[in-house]
Amino acid sequence: MFDRLRFGFFFTVAVSFFSLSSAQTPPDRFHCVWTNGPVVIDGNGSDEAWQRAYPIDRFWIPTTDQSASTKTRVRLLWDREYLYFFAEMEDHDLFADVLEHDGKTWDNDVFEMFFRPSRNHEGYYEFQVNAAGTNVDMFLPSSGTGGYSKYRSSNRFHWETAVVRNGTLEDRSDHDTGWSAEGRIPWIDLMPTGGRPELREEWLVAFCRYDFTKGRSPELSSSARLTKPSFHHTPDYSLLQFLGPAESDPNLRRVSEKQSRIQSRVTGSPEPPPPYRAVRAYPNLNIKWPIDVQVEPGTDRLIIIEEEGAYGPTKVMRTGRDGDPSKLEELLDPHSVAYSIAFHPRFAENGWMFVGSNGPFDDGPHKSRITRYTIERVPPFKVISDPVTIIDWESRGHNGAAITFGADGMLYITSGDGTSDSDTDNVGQDLSKLLSKVLRINVDQPSSGRAYSVPEDNPFVGVEGVRPETFAYGLRNPWRMTTDPKTGRIWIGNNGQDMWEQIYLLQKSANYGWSVFEGSHPFYTNRRMGPNPLTLPVAEHPHSEARSLTGGVVYHGSNFPELKGAYVYGDYSTGKVWGLKHDGNQITWHQEIADTPFQISSITLDPSGELLLVDHRGEQKGALYHLEANPDRDRTIDFPRRLSETGLFDEVSSHRVAKGLIPYSVNAPLWSDGSEKMRWIALPKDGSIDMTEQWSWNFPEDTVLMKSFAFEAKKGEIPTKQWVETRLFHKKEGEWVGYSYAWREDQSDADLVEAGGDDKSIQVLRDGEWVNLDWHYPSRTECMVCHTRAARFVLGLSTLQLNKSHDYGDGQILNQLEVLESLGVLRCDWDSDQKKKLSRQTKDAGQDLKWTAEELAAIRVAPDQLPVRSRQMLSFSPVNYPRLVDPYDRKGEVDDRVRAYLHSNCAYCHVESGGGNAQIDLAYWTTKDRMRLIDVPPIHSHFDIEGARLIAPGSEERSILLQRLSRRGRGQMPQLGTSVIDREAVELVREWIHSLK
The answer on pLDDT for 649 being more than 70 is: yes
* Contacts of 804 by beta carbon, 8 Å cutoff, 6+ apart: 665, 666, 667, 815, 816, 883
Distance in angstroms (rounded) separating the CA atoms of residues 72 and 60 = 10
Tell me if residue 984 falls in helix, strand or coil.
Answer: helix
What number of helices (H) and strands (E) belong to the chain? 13, 54
Measuring CA to CA, which residue among 428, 425, 433 is closest to residue 392? 433
Determine the Cα–Cα distance for residues 680 and 126; give it in Å rounded to an integer: 47
Of 813, 833, 820, residue with least CA distance to 873: 820
- pLDDT tens digit sequence for 59-98: 999 999 999 999 999 999 999 999 999 999 999 999 999 9
Q: Which of 350, 442, 435, 339 is CA-nearest to residue 390?
A: 442
Instruction: Decide: residue 647, CB within 10 A, 0-12 exposed, 13-18 middle, 19+ buried.
Output: middle
Tens digits of residue pLDDT in 537-557: 999 998 778 888 999 999 999
pLDDT of 812 above 60? yes
Residue 400 has pLDDT above 60, yes or no: yes
* Alpha carbons 647 and 88: distance in angstroms, whole number: 56
Residue 210, CA distances (Å) to 101, 105, 111, 159, 607 in order: 18, 9, 7, 21, 81
Residue 589 has pLDDT above 90, yes or no: yes
Three-state secondary-structure class, residue 708:
strand
Q: Which residue has the higher pLDDT, 530 or 449?
A: 530
In sequence order, what are the residues at sequence separation of 6 or more whose Cβ sits closer than 8 angstroms to the Cβ of residue 256? 246, 819, 822, 823
**pLDDT at site 473:** 98
Give the whole-angstrom CA distance, residue 944 versus residue 275. Answer: 51
14: confidence class by pLDDT, cuts 50, 70, 90: very low
Model confidence at 8, pLDDT cuts 50, 70, 90, reads very low
State the pLDDT confidence band at 19, using cuts at 50, 70 and 90.
very low
pLDDT of residue 445: 97
| pLDDT band, residue 913 (cuts 50/70/90) | low
Give the confidence band of 621 by pLDDT, cuts at 50, 70, 90: low
For residue 499, pLDDT beyond 90 = no
% pLDDT > 70, the chain: 95
- Across 644-658, 714-728, 925-939, least confident range: 714-728
Least confident of 156-165, 581-590, 760-769, 798-807: 760-769
Any idea of the CA torsion for 748, 753, 757, 759, to the nearest 10 degrees?
Answer: -20
Residue 206 has pLDDT above 90, yes or no: yes
pLDDT at 855: 81
Whether residue 563 has pLDDT greater than 80? yes
DSSP 8-state symbol, 537: P
Beta-carbon neighbour count of residue 154 at 10 Å?
13
Instruction: Calculate the average pLDDT of the chain.
Output: 90
Single-letter code of the amino acid located at 903: H
pLDDT digits over 825-864, tens only?
999 999 999 888 888 888 888 888 887 888 888 889 999 9
Predicted local confidence at residue 620, as pLDDT: 58
* 973 or 914, higher pLDDT: 973
Residues 916-943 have a mean pLDDT of 85
Q: What is the pLDDT of residue 162?
A: 98
From 241-255, 356-370, 793-807, 980-994, the region with the lowest mean pLDDT: 241-255
Q: For position 1, what pLDDT does the model report?
A: 35
> pLDDT exceeding 90 applies to what percent of the chain?
71
Residue with the larger pLDDT of the pair 613 and 311? 613
What per-residue confidence (pLDDT) applies to 915?
59
Distance of CA 717 to the CA centre of its chain: 50
State residue 533's pLDDT score.
97
Dump pLDDT digits (tens) for 877-898.
999 999 999 999 999 999 999 9
d(CA 319, CA 970): 56
Per-residue pLDDT reduced to its tens digit, 131-147:
999 999 999 998 776 78
pLDDT for residue 323: 56
Q: What is the pLDDT of residues 688-735, one digit of tens each?
A: 999 998 899 999 999 999 999 999 877 666 778 899 999 999 998 788
